[in-house]
Structure 1
Amino acid sequence: MKTKRFLNIGLASLFLVNVAYAQSYQFDFSEKKKVEKGVIQISSDSIYPCKGGYGYDFLPAPMKKSNEPFFFSVDVPDGNYLVTVTLGNARKAGSTTVRAESRRLFLENISTRKGEFLTYRFTVNKRNTIIADGEKVQIKEREKNKLNWDDKLTFEFNGDVPCLASLKIEPVNDVVTVFLAGNSTVVDQDNEPWASWGQMIPRFFDEHVCFANYAESGERADTFIKAGRLKKALTQMKEGDYMFIEFGHNDQKLKGPGKGAYYSFASNLKYFVDVVRAKGGIPVFVTPTQRRSFDNSGKIQETHEDYPDAMRWVAQREGVQVIELHDMTRVFYEAMGVEPSKKAFVHYPAGTYPNQTKALADNTHFNPYGAYEIAKCVIEGIKQLNLPWVKYLRDDYHPFNPASPDKVDTFKWNESPFTEIEKPDGN
């Protein structure tokens, strides 16, 4: 009897090890002739999808002397993954930026000397549209090619001289996951020159925190719920996880009986609070980013009506903590000034990007610099709330004051290869 019990435990343990191994990968991108057992050696012929469901994707495999960006994809199930990257090259100095999925920033401008290798770790969330039993998130037509919604985990290696030596991917379940619910000011924007704070904030935290960005352009609180985005996020949420909720931009356009900030909007916010708490999660409200709308005296005009106040009202009633991004972005834009603040938004003359025949002048949506600065505003809000995982900020994060933003010309961003001149949904 004891022998049988021991045998069953042994088989079960072996099965679990095999399952874990099937979802873990270790790739070698160096020029080694031999690699350790269990390590997959990548060559220029490793084009996605290889037999094992991995390979260079979207662009050709990088040549030895190439300094061009490249993508690498791996088929994995939904979940959080601990990623360990070693950057560097035996033959040349490098400068590497690492993004994942829909341009989610994790590492930026990492310099390595010739022959120097540096190792970093971060955690990335991967998902697809499947909720359960044939039910799917009702994504929009323009989302169908987004890297956030497919069956693979995709990495972008960019920079002046991107140098990747090795990549390790392991499933992980014991990190804090911060789910993001919101609109185009939060979403992971796939293409240049658009960007949002939700895709910049992962860069500032170490591997103990994972951001799962479910936001989408044009969404309101009610459409986010109806499309199944909230339901999908809840299937991935565990006790102690967080959900940051930022709406208001598009909600204010909804008119009619029973609609309004203190009616349908407040009711939808209350629903978010209830279902997140029912899963053991912790909701946090983020008041909406300001629009770039100045009056004649150089002050930001209020364009969100009473929607920010409605968020605060629901938060007070329900005991929800609030990050005052509405106030911080007002300070940020006014500190930059009327004309200079355009450099935080998608304002570019005609011809800046391929097929761009007209100037881009968007006063709602951010470029990478603006999104990066606003992510820092959110972090300062996290610090003010003293959320327990603020201790996992990376060592190179410095306190940020929106009244004294970083100079635009000190911000270095190597653009992704893909562009889009059509503005995101919402304004």
Structure 2
Amino acid sequence: FYFSVKLPEGNYNVKVLLGDKTGTSVTTIKAECRRLMTEKIETAKGKFTTAQFTVHVKDSLIRSVGTKVRLKSREFEYLHWDDKLTLEFNNTSPKVCAVEITKADKIPTIFLAGNSTVVDQAHEPWAAWGQMIPAFFQPHKIAVANYAESGETLKAFKGARRLEKIWSMAKPGDFLFIEFAHNDQKPGGNHLDPFTTYKQTLKDWIAEARKRGVTPVLVTSMNRRTFDSAGKITNSLGDYPEAVRQTAKEEGVAFVDLNAMSKTLYEALGPEKSIKAFVHFAANTFPNQPNELKDNTHFSTYGAYELAKCVVKGIQQNIPELAKYLKKDLPVFDPAKPDDVAKWNLPQSSFVGTVKPDGN
């Protein structure tokens, strides 16, 4: 079930009292467009516990200049643009006794800029790492603000005023994660050449972030599911991951090599098991889905969660000023030893779609 409340944009700390004086409870909490906030929380009969997390609420208005983000038509139905905070209480027996929401103005924010591999995917069965990673951070310490959108490139993201929206909210001490490549490599008006215009655009964003006291973080794009006959991932992203690596070194910025870790992850799963990390489902798996879904770019919830773990690993290894905000009890993750997909279980949300996100 869902709970919505109208709130102005910003960061909020949320406390949820869970339990049942006459029974047990099992609850998973998501926010907005299926953004994972807390994983499975269980209470015994007659017992109660408090779940806490920090969430970002956004709208499309750029107040500093009186204009708006240029949303795509499909975005108008998304919960993360509706001027409300929506919480989803899911799992086998969610029991909610109370919800407390307080403004959190002084904590730092992690802004995410990217495409469909980062965005809060609105509909099952698609997912992206950006909507999984909030669950890995301590409550009351930092907020994740996901401004990624499907189909975007560096050029298109700026052209739609999404970057301007981030700058209008960013403050010293914040972070900006930048991950683009899948769509930038395609011909057309938004194409950028990897070693010239693409690198220069990254450097422009880095310079602007630093001018504002924001820490830029470059993330290489994860591989597509493209295996050769020997069971190895082939590079479908051309020179773009290397261009990011070069830029990070030249500019001395924080860096997460998700491209390298995803190759290790997919190859560890292998050509067959890796299907479970992507949107591959037989016809009629979901309502109104007469055709097979076979997408080797976009992720299932399992795949998105494993990639979020890779990003967390990169933070732990390379960004100590951000790693201090991660939860203290996180197990060590090795992409060469992915979690057993047979044991993966994230309750499905009620929003289900059959149209592939923009980009591939």
TM-score class normalised by the smaller sequence: over 0.9
Aligned residue identity for 1:185: T
Q: Does 1:232 align with 2:165?
A: yes
Alpha-carbon distance change, 340 to 257 in structure 1, aligned in 2, over 3 angstroms: closer
Query: Hey, what's the Cα distance between the residues in 2 that align with 1:391 and 1:272?
Result: 25
Q: Does 1:310 align with 2:235?
A: no
Q: CA deviation at 1:386?
A: 3.6
Q: Does 1:356 align with 2:289?
A: yes
Question: Does the Cα contact within 8 Å between 2:19 and 2:97 map onto a contact in 1?
Answer: yes
Q: CA deviation at 1:105?
A: 0.3
Aligned counterpart, 2:74? 142
Q: Which aligned pairs between 1:345-424 and structure 2 lie closer than 5 A?
A: 345-424=278-357
Query: Hey, what's the Cα distance between the residues in 2 that align with 1:386 and 1:287?
Result: 15
Alpha-carbon distance change, 198 to 258 in structure 1, aligned in 2, over 3 angstroms: closer
Aligned length: 358
Q: CA deviation at 1:266?
A: 1.4
Query: Hey, what's the Cα distance between the residues in 2 that align with 1:257 and 1:362?
Result: 23
Question: Does the Cα contact within 8 Å between 1:84 and 1:121 map onto a contact in 2?
Answer: yes
Q: Does 1:102 align with 2:30?
A: no
Aligned residue identity for 2:201: N
More displaced stretch, 87-96 vs 385-394: 385-394
Aligned residue identity for 1:331: T
Aligned residue identity for 2:153: R
Deviations 1:139-175 (A, max 9, x none): 1011111111121111000011011111110011222
Q: CA deviation at 1:259?
A: 4.0
- What SS is found at the alignment partner of 1:304? coil
Question: Does the Cα contact within 8 Å between 1:383 and 1:390 map onto a contact in 2?
Answer: yes
Q: Which aligned pairs between 1:256-295 and structure 2 lie closer than 5 A?
A: 259-295=192-228
Query: Hey, what's the Cα distance between the residues in 1 that align with 2:283 and 2:190?
Result: 43
Higher Rg: 1
More displaced stretch, 264-273 vs 241-250: 264-273
Deviations 1:360-382 (A, max 9, x none): 01000000000001000000000
Query: Hey, what's the Cα distance between the residues in 2 that align with 1:257 and 1:225?
Result: 11
Q: CA deviation at 1:120?
A: 2.2
Query: Hey, what's the Cα distance between the residues in 1 that align with 2:51 and 2:350?
Result: 24
- What SS is found at the alignment partner of 1:384? helix
State percent identity of aligned pairs: 49
Aligned counterpart, 1:7? none
Q: Which runs of 5+ in 2 are unaligned?
A: none
Question: Does the Cα contact within 8 Å between 2:36 and 2:132 map onto a contact in 1?
Answer: yes
Q: CA deviation at 1:181?
A: 0.4
Query: Hey, what's the Cα distance between the residues in 1 that align with 2:146 and 2:189?
Result: 31
Aligned counterpart, 1:25? none
Aligned counterpart, 2:133? 201
Query: Hey, what's the Cα distance between the residues in 2 that align with 1:109 and 1:258?
Result: 42
Equivalent of 2:115, from 142, 158, 183? Answer: 183
Aligned residue identity for 2:97: A
Query: Hey, what's the Cα distance between the residues in 2 that align with 1:102 and 1:359?
Result: 24
Q: Which runs of 5+ in 1 are unaligned?
A: 1-69
Query: Hey, what's the Cα distance between the residues in 2 that align with 1:211 and 1:332?
Result: 24
Q: Structure 1 length as normaliser, TM-score? A: 0.82
Deviations 1:108-138 (A, max 9, x none): 1101112111112211000100002430000
Question: Does the Cα contact within 8 Å between 1:209 and 1:389 map onto a contact in 2?
Answer: no
Query: Hey, what's the Cα distance between the residues in 1 that align with 2:23 and 2:235?
Result: 52
Aligned counterpart, 1:249? 182
Query: Hey, what's the Cα distance between the residues in 1 that align with 2:242 and 2:222?
Result: 13
Aligned residue identity for 1:352: T
Q: CA deviation at 1:318?
A: 1.6
Q: Does 1:333 align with 2:291?
A: no
Aligned residue identity for 2:108: V
Aligned residue identity for 1:261: P
Q: Over aligned residues, Cα RMSD in angstroms?
A: 1.4
Q: Structure 2 length as normaliser, TM-score? A: 0.97
Aligned counterpart, 2:13? 82
Q: CA deviation at 1:260?
A: 0.9
Relative contact order, higher structure (CA 8 A, sep 6+): 2
Query: Hey, what's the Cα distance between the residues in 2 that align with 1:422 and 1:282?
Result: 35
Query: Hey, what's the Cα distance between the residues in 2 that align with 1:426 and 1:102?
Result: 19
Question: Does the Cα contact within 8 Å between 1:254 and 1:260 map onto a contact in 2?
Answer: no
Question: Does the Cα contact within 8 Å between 2:153 and 2:190 map onto a contact in 1?
Answer: no
